[in-house]
Structure 1
Amino acid sequence: MNLIEQLGGYERAKHEFEMIKEMKPIYPGEIETNNRLLLEYRRQHNIFESGDLVVDTTGFYDWLCRVEYLSTDGLVVMYRHDQRKGDTAFTTRPLIETVRHATDAEIKAGKRLGVMK
């Protein structure tokens, strides 16, 4: 059983980690470690939150998008920045059906990997 499950699930762990942020962390890097645990859990369970970096799963687009907010009808609203064109736009995509969390390698590269254009 991982730490998030030991704390009673994602929402409870998120609450506990937010409380830690308000207090002085016990050891250096604690906040980053907690944020990383929550992100890994979200990646494994297809949970999206504001600020998460996602990519299009259809393979048509190769840019990263940052989740701005989740709508109540099951759609995720994202902000897109296409560095090649220098433009920005809001786009709405069905949650889980056409997006997934960006991997660490994709975040480092600044784009979705494996897209043929």
Structure 2
Amino acid sequence: MSLAPYLATRPWLRNLLKPVASWYANAASYRQLGLHYDDLISEENEDVQRALKRLTPKESYDRVFRLRRATQLSLQQKILPREAWTKPQDDVAYVSQLLAAVEAEAKEREDLDTIVPLKAH
């Protein structure tokens, strides 16, 4: 269950929680390693694997580069210089949208596979 639809209908609540969300994103420190939020999605799910296959070659390359750089920084126990951190406006969802489409297709496929035909009398 997501709070997003509830927050979307209540702008005053969204505006109230926006600073907390920004603080949390900065406290999570993934941006300090140059990562995007969608880079944190676990790749162990089949739907995620299908969504990642739909990335453009550039998006796929950029994702791998960010993950390798973050791994190297983590091993060295370092962070990027402040000017290289991921900016909030650059932290856009690029896998989540594809993942939602893949999940919707899987749900539709499941629904179509479980249709029981009605017998005519």
- TM-score, reference length from structure 1: 0.29
Based on CA coordinates, which of the two structures has the bigger radius of gyration? 2
Q: Which has the higher contact order (CA 8 A, sep 6+)?
A: 2
Larger strand fraction of residues:
1
The two structures have a TM-score, normalised by structure 2, of 0.29
